Amino acid sequence: MFLYRNANATLALSKRLYTTVEVVLVGLALVMMGHGFPRLIQGAGEWLVALLVYLLIGACIVRFWPHGALGWANRVTLVRSALVALIAGGLITNVSTVGQWQWLGIAATALLLDGVDGFVARRAHCQSDFGARFDMELDALLILLLCLALLTTAELGPWVLLIGAMRYGFVLASGVYPWLKAPLFASWRRKAVCVWQVSALLLALAPLTPSGVSALLALSALITLFYSFGVDVWWLYRSPRV
C-alpha cells in the first residue's frame, strides 16, 4: 500500500512538473514578445505587472490541471493568457499613439485566439471543464482590463467598470445564493455577447474613435451583458433545486 501511494504521488508530481515546464516556456515567449513592443512595455513597472499577472495565471494552471500535458486547446489559451498579461502591463503607462495601436493589436489577437482554442478543442476531441473555465476566466480578465483602459483614457466614468465587474459580482453572489453555482446550458448567445464585449470595447478604445461613439459602444456592451446575465440568472432561479 505504501509503495502504491508513493508511486501515485510520484506520478502526480511528474505530471505537475510537465505542466510547469509548459507554463514556463510560454512565459519565456511572453518576455520575447514584450521586448518586441518597446513602446508599450517601457520599464520595470510594466514588466512587473505583466509577469505577476502571468505568474498568477500559471500558478492556477499548475494547481488545478493535474493531467500533465495541457493539450493543444489549453496551450492556445495559455498563449492567450501571455497576451493578456502584456495587456495588463501596458495598461499602467501613458503610451504614444503607436503604443496604443500596439496595445489594441495585442488585445485584438487575444480576441481572435478566443475562437481558435474552442475550435482546436472540438477538432482534437479534448474538451474539458478545466479548459472551458480557463477560457471563461481569461475572457473576464481581458474585459476587465479593457474597462480599466476606458476609464483611464476615454474618461467615461466609473460606470464602465460595471462591464468588467459583472462576472466577478456573479461569482461573489453565488457564495450567498448557492443555486447560482448550478451548471448552465450551452449557449451561442453567451458566446456572441462575450465577443461583442471585447469588440465594442476595442473599438471604443481606438484613438480615432470620438468620445461620444466610445460611450455608446461601451453602453451597448453593458446593456447586452446585463441582458445575458439576466437570462442566465432567471433560468438558474427557475431551475429545480437538487
- Residue 92 and residue 142 in one domain: no
Give the Å distances, CA to CA, from 27 to 4, 56, 162.
35, 12, 31
Give the C-alpha separation, 146 to 205, whole Å. Answer: 8
In this prediction, residue 186 carries a pLDDT of 80
Query: Residue type for 198, please?
Result: V
In this prediction, residue 242 carries a pLDDT of 59
Owning domain of residue 47? 1-127
Give the rounded distance of the alpha carbon of 22 from its chain centre.
18
Give the C-alpha separation, 105 to 121, whole Å. Answer: 25
Query: Residue type for 74, please?
Result: N
End residue of a domain, out of 93, 127, 161: 127
Give the C-alpha separation, 103 to 38, whole Å. Answer: 11
Find the farthest-apart pair of alpha carbons in the chain and give their distance in angstroms, rounded.
Answer: 69
In this prediction, residue 42 carries a pLDDT of 73
- Residue 114 and residue 143 in one domain: no
Report the Cα–Cα distance between both ends of the chain, in Å, rounded.
37
- Residue 106 and residue 30 in one domain: yes
pTM: 0.87
- Residue 32 and residue 118 in one domain: yes
In this prediction, residue 207 carries a pLDDT of 85
End residue of a domain, out of 127, 150, 180: 127
Q: At what angle do helices 2-35 and 44-64 cross, to 10 degrees?
A: 150
Give the C-alpha separation, 165 to 125, whole Å. Answer: 33
- Residue 45 and residue 103 in one domain: yes
List, for residues 145-159, the tens digit of each pLDDT value: 999 988 887 678 899
Give the Å distances, CA to CA, from 125 to 70, 139, 184, 191.
13, 22, 21, 20
- Residue 92 and residue 147 in one domain: no
- Residue 120 and residue 202 in one domain: no
Other residues' Cβ atoms within 10 Å of the Cβ of residue 193: 18
pLDDT per residue, tens digit, the chain (242 aa), is: 544 454 454 545 566 787 888 888 988 988 888 887 777 777 788 889 999 999 999 999 988 887 777 888 888 999 999 999 999 988 876 555 667 888 888 999 998 888 888 888 888 777 788 888 898 899 999 999 999 988 887 678 899 999 999 999 999 999 999 999 888 888 889 889 988 999 999 999 888 889 899 999 999 999 999 999 999 999 999 887 65
In this prediction, residue 63 carries a pLDDT of 87
List, in sequence order, every beta strand (DSSP E) within the chain. none
Give the C-alpha separation, 154 to 187, whole Å. Answer: 32
In this prediction, residue 3 carries a pLDDT of 43
Burial of 212 (0-12, 13-18, 19+ CB in 10 A): exposed
In this prediction, residue 4 carries a pLDDT of 43
Counting the structural domains of the chain, the total is 2
Cell output for 236: 438558474
Backbone angle region of 157, left / alpha / beta, with phi > 0 → left and psi within -120 to 50 → alpha: left
- Residue 143 and residue 31 in one domain: no
- Residue 81 and residue 147 in one domain: no
Give the C-alpha separation, 70 to 78, whole Å. Answer: 9
In this prediction, residue 7 carries a pLDDT of 47
- Residue 122 and residue 199 in one domain: no
End residue of a domain, out of 107, 127, 147: 127
Q: Where are the alpha helices (DSSP H) in 65-180?
A: 72-90, 97-124, 129-149, 161-176
Cell output for 25: 516556456
- Residue 45 and residue 152 in one domain: no
Contact between residue 221 and residue 201 where contact means Cβ atoms under 8 Å apart = yes
- Residue 41 and residue 77 in one domain: yes
